[in-house]
Structure 1
Amino acid sequence: MALSGHAGPPPFVRLAAHAVRWRLLSELARGDLRVRELVALVGHPQNLVSYHLRLLRSSGLVTSRRSSFDGRDSYYRLDLARCAHALAAAGSALHPALRLVPAEPAITTGDSAPPSVLFVCTGNSARSPIAEALTRHRAGGRAEVASAGSHPKPRLHPAAVRVLRRQYGIDIAGRRPRHLDTMTGGRFDYVISLCDKVREVCPEFDGRPRRLHWSMPDPAAGDGTEGDRAFERTAAEIDTRLRYLLPVLAPTPHQEVRP
Protein backbone atom coordinates (compact mmCIF):
# COMPACT_ATOMS: atom_id res chain seq x y z
CA MET A 1 0.00 0.00 0.00
CA ALA A 2 1.36 3.42 -0.93
CA LEU A 3 1.58 5.73 2.06
CA SER A 4 1.41 8.92 -0.01
CA GLY A 5 -1.77 8.28 -1.97
CA HIS A 6 -4.15 11.12 -2.79
CA ALA A 7 -7.39 9.46 -1.70
CA GLY A 8 -9.43 11.42 0.83
CA PRO A 9 -10.03 10.26 4.40
CA PRO A 10 -12.01 7.02 4.79
CA PRO A 11 -15.78 7.46 5.14
CA PHE A 12 -15.74 6.69 8.88
CA VAL A 13 -13.15 9.40 9.53
CA ARG A 14 -15.12 11.99 7.56
CA LEU A 15 -18.35 11.03 9.30
CA ALA A 16 -17.03 10.78 12.86
CA ALA A 17 -14.87 13.92 12.67
CA HIS A 18 -17.88 16.21 13.12
CA ALA A 19 -18.16 17.22 16.78
CA VAL A 20 -21.90 16.55 17.12
CA ARG A 21 -21.70 13.18 15.38
CA TRP A 22 -18.72 12.14 17.49
CA ARG A 23 -20.65 13.04 20.63
CA LEU A 24 -23.66 11.04 19.43
CA LEU A 25 -21.45 8.05 18.69
CA SER A 26 -19.85 8.36 22.12
CA GLU A 27 -23.19 8.46 23.94
CA LEU A 28 -24.64 5.56 21.94
CA ALA A 29 -21.51 3.50 22.59
CA ARG A 30 -22.71 3.34 26.21
CA GLY A 31 -26.20 2.07 25.41
CA ASP A 32 -29.39 2.59 23.42
CA LEU A 33 -31.06 5.99 23.76
CA ARG A 34 -34.08 7.95 22.54
CA VAL A 35 -33.81 11.21 20.61
CA ARG A 36 -34.91 13.35 23.55
CA GLU A 37 -32.25 11.72 25.73
CA LEU A 38 -29.58 12.40 23.12
CA VAL A 39 -30.75 16.01 22.84
CA ALA A 40 -30.31 16.46 26.58
CA LEU A 41 -26.89 14.78 26.57
CA VAL A 42 -25.33 16.63 23.63
CA GLY A 43 -26.98 20.00 24.35
CA HIS A 44 -28.16 20.74 20.80
CA PRO A 45 -31.66 21.28 19.33
CA GLN A 46 -33.64 18.23 18.32
CA ASN A 47 -33.70 19.15 14.62
CA LEU A 48 -29.89 19.26 14.56
CA VAL A 49 -29.56 16.00 16.49
CA SER A 50 -32.09 14.31 14.18
CA TYR A 51 -30.19 15.53 11.11
CA HIS A 52 -26.93 14.01 12.30
CA LEU A 53 -28.68 10.81 13.38
CA ARG A 54 -30.00 10.47 9.82
CA LEU A 55 -26.46 10.69 8.49
CA LEU A 56 -25.25 8.09 10.96
CA ARG A 57 -28.18 5.82 10.08
CA SER A 58 -27.53 6.17 6.35
CA SER A 59 -23.95 5.02 6.97
CA GLY A 60 -25.18 1.93 8.79
CA LEU A 61 -23.31 2.83 11.97
CA VAL A 62 -26.55 3.59 13.84
CA THR A 63 -29.86 1.74 13.66
CA SER A 64 -33.21 2.40 15.31
CA ARG A 65 -35.98 0.27 16.75
CA ARG A 66 -39.51 1.22 17.66
CA SER A 67 -39.96 1.23 21.41
CA SER A 68 -42.01 -1.66 22.79
CA PHE A 69 -43.06 0.62 25.66
CA ASP A 70 -44.21 3.59 23.56
CA GLY A 71 -44.72 2.73 19.90
CA ARG A 72 -44.44 6.40 18.95
CA ASP A 73 -40.86 6.50 20.19
CA SER A 74 -37.66 4.87 18.92
CA TYR A 75 -34.39 3.76 20.46
CA TYR A 76 -31.16 4.42 18.60
CA ARG A 77 -28.36 1.88 18.77
CA LEU A 78 -24.71 2.02 17.72
CA ASP A 79 -23.56 -1.00 15.73
CA LEU A 80 -20.27 -1.58 17.54
CA ALA A 81 -19.22 -4.41 15.24
CA ARG A 82 -19.61 -2.18 12.17
CA CYS A 83 -17.71 0.58 14.00
CA ALA A 84 -14.89 -1.85 14.75
CA HIS A 85 -14.61 -2.79 11.08
CA ALA A 86 -14.74 0.85 10.00
CA LEU A 87 -12.02 1.84 12.47
CA ALA A 88 -9.85 -1.08 11.37
CA ALA A 89 -10.30 -0.05 7.73
CA ALA A 90 -9.41 3.55 8.58
CA GLY A 91 -6.21 2.48 10.32
CA SER A 92 -5.22 0.22 7.43
CA ALA A 93 -5.87 3.00 4.93
CA LEU A 94 -3.21 5.13 6.64
CA HIS A 95 -0.67 2.32 7.16
CA PRO A 96 -0.99 -1.48 7.10
CA ALA A 97 0.60 -1.74 10.56
CA LEU A 98 -2.15 0.44 12.07
CA ARG A 99 -4.89 -2.11 11.63
CA LEU A 100 -6.70 -2.32 14.95
CA VAL A 101 -6.86 -5.58 16.90
CA PRO A 102 -10.05 -6.26 18.94
CA ALA A 103 -9.52 -5.83 22.66
CA GLU A 104 -9.40 -8.92 24.84
CA PRO A 105 -11.61 -9.10 27.95
CA ALA A 106 -9.88 -7.00 30.60
CA ILE A 107 -11.82 -8.06 33.69
CA THR A 108 -9.57 -9.49 36.37
CA THR A 109 -9.81 -10.80 39.90
CA GLY A 110 -6.73 -10.49 42.15
CA ASP A 111 -7.27 -7.92 44.90
CA SER A 112 -10.53 -6.68 43.38
CA ALA A 113 -13.97 -8.17 43.65
CA PRO A 114 -15.24 -9.39 40.27
CA PRO A 115 -17.69 -7.01 38.61
CA SER A 116 -21.35 -7.84 39.15
CA VAL A 117 -23.96 -7.51 36.41
CA LEU A 118 -27.74 -7.74 36.57
CA PHE A 119 -29.76 -8.20 33.37
CA VAL A 120 -33.44 -7.33 33.51
CA CYS A 121 -36.40 -7.72 31.17
CA THR A 122 -40.13 -8.23 31.66
CA GLY A 123 -40.66 -11.99 31.82
CA ASN A 124 -37.12 -13.19 32.64
CA SER A 125 -37.86 -16.12 30.35
CA ALA A 126 -35.77 -15.36 27.25
CA ARG A 127 -33.71 -12.17 26.81
CA SER A 128 -32.31 -11.69 30.32
CA PRO A 129 -31.59 -15.39 31.06
CA ILE A 130 -29.89 -15.65 27.66
CA ALA A 131 -27.75 -12.62 28.56
CA GLU A 132 -26.99 -14.03 32.00
CA ALA A 133 -25.94 -17.40 30.60
CA LEU A 134 -23.81 -15.96 27.79
CA THR A 135 -22.07 -13.51 30.13
CA ARG A 136 -21.22 -16.26 32.60
CA HIS A 137 -19.98 -18.41 29.72
CA ARG A 138 -17.86 -15.66 28.12
CA ALA A 139 -16.51 -14.21 31.36
CA GLY A 140 -15.30 -17.59 32.58
CA GLY A 141 -16.05 -16.94 36.24
CA ARG A 142 -14.54 -13.44 36.22
CA ALA A 143 -17.91 -11.73 36.72
CA GLU A 144 -20.91 -12.27 38.97
CA VAL A 145 -24.06 -12.38 36.86
CA ALA A 146 -27.78 -12.52 37.60
CA SER A 147 -31.05 -11.79 35.82
CA ALA A 148 -34.63 -11.03 36.80
CA GLY A 149 -37.94 -9.78 35.43
CA SER A 150 -40.59 -7.27 36.44
CA HIS A 151 -43.34 -9.81 35.63
CA PRO A 152 -41.57 -13.18 35.54
CA LYS A 153 -43.08 -16.04 33.57
CA PRO A 154 -43.71 -19.39 35.24
CA ARG A 155 -40.82 -20.97 33.31
CA LEU A 156 -38.11 -20.28 30.77
CA HIS A 157 -39.19 -20.20 27.14
CA PRO A 158 -38.34 -23.61 25.63
CA ALA A 159 -36.86 -21.95 22.53
CA ALA A 160 -34.39 -19.97 24.66
CA VAL A 161 -33.28 -23.22 26.32
CA ARG A 162 -32.94 -24.98 22.94
CA VAL A 163 -30.98 -22.19 21.27
CA LEU A 164 -28.48 -21.83 24.10
CA ARG A 165 -27.92 -25.58 24.21
CA ARG A 166 -27.69 -26.02 20.42
CA GLN A 167 -25.77 -22.87 19.45
CA TYR A 168 -23.54 -22.32 22.50
CA GLY A 169 -23.44 -25.58 24.44
CA ILE A 170 -25.04 -23.95 27.50
CA ASP A 171 -27.75 -25.73 29.50
CA ILE A 172 -30.14 -23.53 31.50
CA ALA A 173 -33.02 -26.01 31.62
CA GLY A 174 -33.00 -26.18 35.42
CA ARG A 175 -33.25 -22.41 35.92
CA ARG A 176 -36.49 -20.65 36.91
CA PRO A 177 -37.44 -17.00 36.23
CA ARG A 178 -36.91 -14.63 39.15
CA HIS A 179 -38.78 -11.51 40.17
CA LEU A 180 -36.96 -8.19 40.09
CA ASP A 181 -38.06 -7.56 43.68
CA THR A 182 -35.75 -10.37 44.84
CA MET A 183 -32.76 -8.35 43.59
CA THR A 184 -33.50 -4.97 45.16
CA GLY A 185 -31.29 -5.61 48.18
CA GLY A 186 -28.29 -6.58 46.06
CA ARG A 187 -25.38 -4.42 44.98
CA PHE A 188 -24.43 -4.44 41.32
CA ASP A 189 -21.83 -2.63 39.25
CA TYR A 190 -23.95 -2.76 36.09
CA VAL A 191 -27.71 -3.04 35.65
CA ILE A 192 -28.59 -3.68 32.01
CA SER A 193 -32.20 -3.52 30.84
CA LEU A 194 -33.03 -5.50 27.72
CA CYS A 195 -36.59 -4.38 27.10
CA ASP A 196 -38.12 -0.93 26.86
CA LYS A 197 -40.95 -1.70 29.28
CA VAL A 198 -38.77 -2.79 32.17
CA ARG A 199 -36.50 0.22 31.71
CA GLU A 200 -39.40 2.40 32.84
CA VAL A 201 -40.02 0.44 36.06
CA CYS A 202 -36.55 -0.78 37.01
CA PRO A 203 -35.89 0.18 40.66
CA GLU A 204 -32.83 1.96 41.98
CA PHE A 205 -30.09 -0.16 43.51
CA ASP A 206 -27.59 0.55 46.28
CA GLY A 207 -24.12 1.59 45.24
CA ARG A 208 -25.25 3.59 42.19
CA PRO A 209 -24.59 0.92 39.55
CA ARG A 210 -23.98 1.95 35.98
CA ARG A 211 -27.30 1.71 34.10
CA LEU A 212 -27.24 0.59 30.47
CA HIS A 213 -30.10 -0.10 28.10
CA TRP A 214 -30.14 -2.53 25.20
CA SER A 215 -33.43 -2.12 23.35
CA MET A 216 -34.30 -5.61 22.13
CA PRO A 217 -37.63 -6.96 20.91
CA ASP A 218 -39.15 -9.93 22.71
CA PRO A 219 -38.33 -13.00 20.59
CA ALA A 220 -41.48 -14.67 21.93
CA ALA A 221 -43.74 -11.87 20.69
CA GLY A 222 -44.24 -13.28 17.18
CA ASP A 223 -46.88 -15.64 15.89
CA GLY A 224 -44.64 -18.69 16.20
CA THR A 225 -44.11 -19.18 12.45
CA GLU A 226 -40.40 -18.41 12.72
CA GLY A 227 -39.68 -21.26 15.07
CA ASP A 228 -36.40 -20.68 16.89
CA ARG A 229 -35.03 -18.08 14.46
CA ALA A 230 -36.11 -15.06 16.52
CA PHE A 231 -34.39 -16.54 19.58
CA GLU A 232 -31.25 -17.26 17.54
CA ARG A 233 -31.15 -13.62 16.41
CA THR A 234 -31.66 -12.42 19.98
CA ALA A 235 -28.87 -14.62 21.31
CA ALA A 236 -26.52 -13.57 18.51
CA GLU A 237 -27.18 -9.87 19.14
CA ILE A 238 -26.64 -10.27 22.88
CA ASP A 239 -23.44 -12.22 22.27
CA THR A 240 -22.15 -9.46 19.97
CA ARG A 241 -22.93 -6.77 22.53
CA LEU A 242 -21.15 -8.80 25.21
CA ARG A 243 -17.99 -8.91 23.12
CA TYR A 244 -17.80 -5.13 23.53
CA LEU A 245 -19.01 -5.04 27.14
CA LEU A 246 -16.59 -7.55 28.67
CA PRO A 247 -13.41 -5.57 27.89
CA VAL A 248 -14.72 -2.57 29.83
CA LEU A 249 -16.21 -4.29 32.87
CA ALA A 250 -14.33 -2.81 35.80
CA PRO A 251 -13.68 -4.81 38.97
CA THR A 252 -14.52 -3.03 42.21
CA PRO A 253 -12.69 -2.86 45.57
CA HIS A 254 -13.57 -5.62 48.02
CA GLN A 255 -16.87 -5.05 49.78
CA GLU A 256 -19.67 -7.20 51.14
CA VAL A 257 -20.46 -10.34 49.21
CA ARG A 258 -23.15 -9.74 46.64
CA PRO A 259 -26.01 -12.17 45.98
Structure 2
Amino acid sequence: MEKMIPHRLSILGHPQRLAVFRLLMRRYPDRVPATELAQALGLKPNTLSTYVSALLQAGLVTQERVGTSLRYAVHMDATRETIDYLLMDCCRGRPDICSPNLHPSPIAETVMRNPTYNVLFICTGNSARSIFAETILRDMAGDRFQAFSAGTKPRSELNPFAIEVLEQKGHDVSLLRSKHISEFQGGDAPDFDFVFTVCNGAANEECPSWQGQPVTAHWGLPDPVKVEGSDAQKSLAFQQTYGALRNRLSGFANLPIASLDRMSLQNAVDDLGQLNEEGSAI
Protein backbone atom coordinates (compact mmCIF):
# COMPACT_ATOMS: atom_id res chain seq x y z
CA MET A 1 0.00 0.00 0.00
CA GLU A 2 2.77 2.46 0.91
CA LYS A 3 4.31 2.03 -2.54
CA MET A 4 1.02 3.05 -4.18
CA ILE A 5 0.59 6.32 -2.27
CA PRO A 6 3.33 8.32 -4.09
CA HIS A 7 2.01 7.01 -7.41
CA ARG A 8 -1.55 8.08 -6.58
CA LEU A 9 -0.41 11.51 -5.43
CA SER A 10 1.61 11.90 -8.61
CA ILE A 11 -1.42 10.98 -10.72
CA LEU A 12 -3.59 13.50 -8.88
CA GLY A 13 -0.91 16.16 -9.27
CA HIS A 14 -1.95 16.59 -12.90
CA PRO A 15 -4.68 19.29 -13.06
CA GLN A 16 -6.87 17.53 -15.63
CA ARG A 17 -6.63 14.12 -13.99
CA LEU A 18 -7.50 15.79 -10.70
CA ALA A 19 -10.50 17.44 -12.40
CA VAL A 20 -11.78 14.02 -13.52
CA PHE A 21 -11.31 12.62 -10.03
CA ARG A 22 -13.04 15.59 -8.38
CA LEU A 23 -16.03 15.34 -10.69
CA LEU A 24 -16.38 11.64 -9.89
CA MET A 25 -16.17 12.47 -6.19
CA ARG A 26 -19.01 14.97 -6.57
CA ARG A 27 -21.09 12.32 -8.33
CA TYR A 28 -20.32 9.48 -5.90
CA PRO A 29 -21.80 6.86 -5.66
CA ASP A 30 -22.98 7.25 -9.27
CA ARG A 31 -21.19 5.59 -12.17
CA VAL A 32 -20.73 8.31 -14.78
CA PRO A 33 -20.64 7.53 -18.53
CA ALA A 34 -17.42 8.44 -20.30
CA THR A 35 -19.33 10.62 -22.77
CA GLU A 36 -20.80 12.67 -19.93
CA LEU A 37 -17.39 13.07 -18.28
CA ALA A 38 -15.85 14.28 -21.53
CA GLN A 39 -18.68 16.73 -22.17
CA ALA A 40 -18.70 18.12 -18.62
CA LEU A 41 -14.93 18.71 -18.64
CA GLY A 42 -14.63 19.82 -22.27
CA LEU A 43 -12.27 16.97 -23.16
CA LYS A 44 -11.87 14.97 -26.35
CA PRO A 45 -12.75 11.27 -25.87
CA ASN A 46 -9.18 10.07 -26.47
CA THR A 47 -7.81 12.66 -24.01
CA LEU A 48 -10.31 11.59 -21.35
CA SER A 49 -9.39 7.95 -21.98
CA THR A 50 -5.73 8.74 -21.25
CA TYR A 51 -6.57 10.48 -17.99
CA VAL A 52 -8.98 7.78 -16.85
CA SER A 53 -6.47 5.03 -17.67
CA ALA A 54 -3.95 6.65 -15.33
CA LEU A 55 -6.56 6.88 -12.54
CA LEU A 56 -7.50 3.23 -13.11
CA GLN A 57 -3.87 2.10 -12.90
CA ALA A 58 -3.50 4.01 -9.63
CA GLY A 59 -6.60 2.24 -8.28
CA LEU A 60 -8.43 5.52 -7.68
CA VAL A 61 -11.40 4.81 -9.94
CA THR A 62 -13.30 1.75 -11.14
CA GLN A 63 -14.71 0.98 -14.57
CA GLU A 64 -17.89 -0.83 -15.59
CA ARG A 65 -19.27 -1.58 -19.06
CA VAL A 66 -23.01 -1.12 -19.50
CA GLY A 67 -23.92 -2.15 -23.04
CA THR A 68 -21.64 -0.10 -25.27
CA SER A 69 -20.99 2.53 -22.59
CA LEU A 70 -18.07 2.68 -20.18
CA ARG A 71 -18.95 4.12 -16.78
CA TYR A 72 -16.62 5.27 -14.04
CA ALA A 73 -16.83 5.78 -10.29
CA VAL A 74 -14.43 6.69 -7.51
CA HIS A 75 -12.85 3.71 -5.75
CA MET A 76 -13.74 4.93 -2.29
CA ASP A 77 -11.70 2.35 -0.36
CA ALA A 78 -8.52 3.37 -2.19
CA THR A 79 -9.34 7.04 -1.71
CA ARG A 80 -9.87 6.62 2.03
CA GLU A 81 -6.70 4.53 2.23
CA THR A 82 -4.70 7.34 0.60
CA ILE A 83 -6.17 10.06 2.81
CA ASP A 84 -5.76 7.96 5.95
CA TYR A 85 -2.11 7.36 5.10
CA LEU A 86 -1.50 11.10 4.74
CA LEU A 87 -3.22 11.84 8.05
CA MET A 88 -1.42 9.09 9.97
CA ASP A 89 2.01 9.47 8.38
CA CYS A 90 2.41 13.12 7.38
CA CYS A 91 0.34 14.45 10.27
CA ARG A 92 1.46 11.78 12.72
CA GLY A 93 -2.19 11.12 13.59
CA ARG A 94 -2.50 14.53 15.26
CA PRO A 95 -6.01 15.98 14.84
CA ASP A 96 -4.79 19.40 15.93
CA ILE A 97 -2.68 19.51 12.74
CA CYS A 98 -4.75 17.87 10.03
CA SER A 99 -8.29 17.09 11.13
CA PRO A 100 -10.93 18.69 8.85
CA ASN A 101 -13.44 18.55 11.72
CA LEU A 102 -11.91 21.03 14.15
CA HIS A 103 -14.99 23.24 14.01
CA PRO A 104 -18.56 22.09 14.77
CA SER A 105 -20.65 21.42 11.69
CA PRO A 106 -23.82 23.46 11.12
CA ILE A 107 -25.79 20.31 12.03
CA ALA A 108 -24.20 20.11 15.48
CA GLU A 109 -24.82 23.81 16.04
CA THR A 110 -28.40 23.49 14.78
CA VAL A 111 -29.17 20.74 17.29
CA MET A 112 -27.84 22.94 20.06
CA ARG A 113 -29.81 26.08 19.16
CA ASN A 114 -33.03 24.70 17.60
CA PRO A 115 -34.03 21.59 15.67
CA THR A 116 -34.64 23.25 12.29
CA TYR A 117 -32.29 22.29 9.46
CA ASN A 118 -31.55 24.41 6.39
CA VAL A 119 -31.60 22.43 3.15
CA LEU A 120 -30.66 23.65 -0.34
CA PHE A 121 -31.57 21.83 -3.55
CA ILE A 122 -29.54 22.74 -6.64
CA CYS A 123 -30.26 22.10 -10.31
CA THR A 124 -29.21 23.79 -13.52
CA GLY A 125 -32.43 25.57 -14.49
CA ASN A 126 -34.25 25.67 -11.11
CA SER A 127 -37.51 25.28 -13.00
CA ALA A 128 -38.68 21.75 -12.10
CA ARG A 129 -36.68 19.18 -10.09
CA SER A 130 -35.18 21.49 -7.47
CA ILE A 131 -38.48 23.39 -7.26
CA PHE A 132 -40.27 20.08 -6.65
CA ALA A 133 -37.81 19.19 -3.87
CA GLU A 134 -38.06 22.59 -2.17
CA THR A 135 -41.86 22.50 -2.22
CA ILE A 136 -42.26 18.87 -1.14
CA LEU A 137 -39.93 19.18 1.85
CA ARG A 138 -41.43 22.50 2.92
CA ASP A 139 -44.96 21.10 2.93
CA MET A 140 -43.99 17.66 4.24
CA ALA A 141 -41.84 18.70 7.19
CA GLY A 142 -41.71 22.48 7.41
CA ASP A 143 -41.52 22.31 11.19
CA ARG A 144 -38.12 20.58 10.99
CA PHE A 145 -36.66 21.89 7.73
CA GLN A 146 -36.30 25.19 5.94
CA ALA A 147 -36.12 24.30 2.26
CA PHE A 148 -34.53 26.41 -0.49
CA SER A 149 -33.71 25.83 -4.15
CA ALA A 150 -31.49 27.48 -6.74
CA GLY A 151 -30.03 27.00 -10.20
CA THR A 152 -26.58 27.38 -11.66
CA LYS A 153 -28.20 28.73 -14.83
CA PRO A 154 -31.77 29.45 -13.74
CA ARG A 155 -34.54 29.89 -16.29
CA SER A 156 -36.57 33.08 -16.35
CA GLU A 157 -39.76 31.23 -15.37
CA LEU A 158 -40.84 27.93 -13.87
CA ASN A 159 -41.85 25.06 -16.12
CA PRO A 160 -45.64 25.06 -16.62
CA PHE A 161 -45.84 21.25 -16.37
CA ALA A 162 -44.03 21.41 -13.01
CA ILE A 163 -46.43 24.05 -11.73
CA GLU A 164 -49.40 21.97 -12.91
CA VAL A 165 -48.17 18.88 -11.03
CA LEU A 166 -47.59 20.86 -7.84
CA GLU A 167 -51.05 22.39 -8.01
CA GLN A 168 -52.60 18.97 -8.63
CA LYS A 169 -50.84 17.70 -5.48
CA GLY A 170 -52.27 20.57 -3.44
CA HIS A 171 -49.10 22.68 -3.02
CA ASP A 172 -49.11 26.47 -2.82
CA VAL A 173 -47.04 27.75 -5.77
CA SER A 174 -47.66 31.48 -5.33
CA LEU A 175 -44.21 32.30 -3.91
CA LEU A 176 -42.10 29.96 -6.06
CA ARG A 177 -39.52 31.45 -8.42
CA SER A 178 -36.28 30.55 -10.16
CA LYS A 179 -33.21 31.75 -8.26
CA HIS A 180 -29.51 31.88 -9.02
CA ILE A 181 -27.18 30.00 -6.69
CA SER A 182 -25.37 33.27 -5.92
CA GLU A 183 -28.35 34.31 -3.76
CA PHE A 184 -27.20 31.69 -1.26
CA GLN A 185 -23.47 32.40 -1.29
CA GLY A 186 -23.33 35.85 0.26
CA GLY A 187 -22.66 36.84 3.83
CA ASP A 188 -26.37 37.09 4.66
CA ALA A 189 -27.23 33.65 3.23
CA PRO A 190 -28.45 30.88 5.55
CA ASP A 191 -25.92 28.41 6.93
CA PHE A 192 -26.88 25.16 5.26
CA ASP A 193 -26.93 21.81 7.01
CA PHE A 194 -27.61 19.88 3.78
CA VAL A 195 -26.94 20.64 0.11
CA PHE A 196 -28.32 18.31 -2.57
CA THR A 197 -27.82 18.42 -6.33
CA VAL A 198 -30.80 16.92 -8.15
CA CYS A 199 -29.52 17.00 -11.72
CA ASN A 200 -26.29 15.71 -13.22
CA GLY A 201 -25.50 19.02 -14.92
CA ALA A 202 -25.32 20.93 -11.63
CA ALA A 203 -23.32 18.15 -9.95
CA ASN A 204 -20.82 18.18 -12.81
CA GLU A 205 -20.16 21.89 -12.50
CA GLU A 206 -17.36 23.33 -10.40
CA CYS A 207 -19.16 25.01 -7.50
CA PRO A 208 -17.59 26.82 -4.56
CA SER A 209 -17.36 24.79 -1.37
CA TRP A 210 -20.06 25.57 1.17
CA GLN A 211 -19.05 27.17 4.43
CA GLY A 212 -19.49 25.07 7.54
CA GLN A 213 -19.17 21.64 5.93
CA PRO A 214 -22.84 20.79 5.27
CA VAL A 215 -23.70 17.21 4.39
CA THR A 216 -23.86 17.03 0.59
CA ALA A 217 -25.24 14.41 -1.76
CA HIS A 218 -26.18 13.94 -5.39
CA TRP A 219 -29.79 12.92 -6.04
CA GLY A 220 -29.66 13.02 -9.82
CA LEU A 221 -32.85 12.42 -11.80
CA PRO A 222 -33.53 12.56 -15.56
CA ASP A 223 -34.71 15.97 -16.73
CA PRO A 224 -38.48 15.83 -17.39
CA VAL A 225 -38.18 19.10 -19.34
CA LYS A 226 -36.34 17.22 -22.09
CA VAL A 227 -39.07 14.61 -22.60
CA GLU A 228 -40.63 14.85 -26.06
CA GLY A 229 -44.06 13.70 -27.21
CA SER A 230 -47.62 14.59 -26.34
CA ASP A 231 -48.63 16.75 -23.40
CA ALA A 232 -49.79 13.57 -21.65
CA GLN A 233 -46.35 11.97 -22.05
CA LYS A 234 -44.62 15.11 -20.79
CA SER A 235 -46.99 15.35 -17.82
CA LEU A 236 -46.28 11.72 -16.95
CA ALA A 237 -42.53 12.42 -16.88
CA PHE A 238 -43.07 15.27 -14.41
CA GLN A 239 -45.36 13.09 -12.30
CA GLN A 240 -42.67 10.38 -12.12
CA THR A 241 -40.00 12.91 -11.15
CA TYR A 242 -42.26 14.31 -8.45
CA GLY A 243 -42.93 10.78 -7.15
CA ALA A 244 -39.24 9.85 -7.00
CA LEU A 245 -38.36 13.03 -5.11
CA ARG A 246 -41.26 12.62 -2.71
CA ASN A 247 -40.05 9.09 -1.93
CA ARG A 248 -36.53 10.30 -1.20
CA LEU A 249 -37.67 13.25 0.85
CA SER A 250 -40.06 11.13 2.90
CA GLY A 251 -37.10 8.93 3.87
CA PHE A 252 -34.95 12.00 4.51
CA ALA A 253 -37.55 13.67 6.72
CA ASN A 254 -37.77 10.53 8.85
CA LEU A 255 -34.02 10.17 9.45
CA PRO A 256 -32.99 10.47 13.13
CA ILE A 257 -30.54 13.21 12.15
CA ALA A 258 -29.56 14.34 15.65
CA SER A 259 -28.59 10.81 16.70
CA LEU A 260 -26.52 9.85 13.64
CA ASP A 261 -22.78 10.44 13.31
CA ARG A 262 -21.68 12.24 10.16
CA MET A 263 -20.58 9.13 8.27
CA SER A 264 -23.84 7.31 8.99
CA LEU A 265 -25.82 10.37 7.93
CA GLN A 266 -23.79 10.67 4.73
CA ASN A 267 -24.37 7.01 3.89
CA ALA A 268 -28.09 7.43 4.56
CA VAL A 269 -28.56 10.39 2.23
CA ASP A 270 -26.43 8.69 -0.44
CA ASP A 271 -28.69 5.63 -0.25
CA LEU A 272 -31.83 7.76 -0.50
CA GLY A 273 -30.47 9.24 -3.72
CA GLN A 274 -30.81 5.82 -5.34
CA LEU A 275 -34.58 5.48 -4.79
CA ASN A 276 -37.04 5.78 -7.67
CA GLU A 277 -40.77 6.58 -7.71
CA GLU A 278 -41.69 3.14 -6.33
CA GLY A 279 -39.15 3.30 -3.51
CA SER A 280 -36.82 0.76 -5.16
CA ALA A 281 -33.12 1.29 -5.83
CA ILE A 282 -32.38 2.66 -9.27
Q: TM-score, normalised to structure 2's length?
A: 0.51
Q: Identify the range of structure 1 (177-186 vs 189-198) with the bigger mean alpha-carbon deviation.
A: 177-186
Residue 62 of structure 2 corresponds to residue 46 of structure 1: yes
- CA distance, structure 2, for counterparts of residue 33 and residue 174 of structure 1: 34
Query: Paired residue for 1:213?
Result: 218
Alpha carbons of structure 1 residues 224 and 249: separation in structure 2 relative to 1, 3 Å: farther
The Cα of 1:165 is off from its aligned counterpart by 1.2
Residues 181 and 249 of structure 1: is their aligned pair in 2 closer, same or farther, counting only changes over 3 Å?
A: farther
Distance in 1 (CA, whole Å) between partners of 2:28 and 2:253 is 17
Contact 1:32 1:214 in 2 (8 A): no
Runs of at least 5 residues in structure 1 that lack an aligned partner in the other structure: 1-30, 55-63, 65-70, 76-107, 253-259
Q: Report the residue type matching 2:214 in the other structure.
A: P
Q: Distance in 2 between matches of 1:245 and 1:162?
A: 25
In 1, Cα distance between the equivalents of 2:112 and 2:61? 46
Q: What is the CA-CA distance between 1:184 and the residue it aligns to?
A: 1.2
Inter-partner Cα distance in structure 1 for 2:114 and 2:145: 11
Does the 8 Å contact 2:227/2:234 carry over to 1? no
Partner residue in 2 for 1:149: 151
User: Could you tell me how far apart the structure 1 residues matched to 2:72 and 2:251 are?
Assistant: 23
Q: Does 1:196 align with 2:200?
A: yes
Query: 2:252 aligned to 232, 245, 250, which one?
Result: 245
Structure 2, unpaired ranges of 5+: 1-26, 33-54, 74-109, 260-282
- Structure 1 46/109 Cα, relative in aligned 2: closer, same or farther at 3 Å? closer
Q: In 2, distance between residues paired with 1:122 and 1:147?
A: 11
Q: Comparing 229-238 with 181-190, which one deviates more in the overlay?
A: 181-190
Task: Give the Cα–Cα distance (whole angstroms) in 1 for the partners of residues 171 and 184 of structure 2.
Answer: 24
Paired residue for 1:112?
114
Change (3 A) 1:136 1:251: farther
1:140 matched to which residue of 2? 142
Whose helix proportion is higher, 1 or 2? 2
Please name the residue that 2:166 is paired with: 164
Instruction: Name the structure 2 match of 1:227.
Output: 234
* Structure 2 counterpart of 1:175: 176
CA contact (8 A) 1:118 1:190 kept: yes
Query: What CA deviation, in whole Å up to 9, does each residue of 1:103-157 have, x standing for no partner?
Result: xxxxx98952411100000000000010000001111321111000000001111
2: CA distance, partners of 1:224 / 1:74: 32
The answer to whether the 8 Å contact 2:138/2:147 transfers is yes
1:61-99 residue CA offsets vs partner (Å, 9 max, x unmatched): xxx9xxxxxx86478xxxxxxxxxxxxxxxxxxxxxxxx
In structure 2, distance between residues paired with 1:222 and 1:249: 36
Return the offset for 1:251.
5.6
Query: How far apart are the structure 2 equivalents of 1:179 and 1:188?
Result: 16
The equivalent residue for 2:30 is: 34
Question: Structure 1's 109 and 35: CA in aligned 2 closer, same or farther, altered over 3 A?
Answer: closer
| Inter-CA distance 234–45: structure 2 relative to 1 (3 Å threshold) | closer
How far is 1:222 from its partner?
A: 1.5
Aligned positions, number: 165
Q: CA RMSD in A?
A: 3.2
Tell me the SS of whatever aligns to 2:234.
Answer: coil
RCO higher in structure (CA 8 A, sep ≥6) = 1
Cα 1:154–1:249, aligned 2, differ >3 Å: closer, same or farther?
Answer: farther
111 and 132 in structure 1: CA distance in 2 versus 1, 3 angstrom threshold: same
Taking a change above 3 Å as real, the CA distance of residues 214 and 155 of structure 1, as seen in their structure-2 partners, is: same
> Would you say the 8 A contact 2:135–2:171 is kept in 1?
yes
% identity of equivalent residues: 32
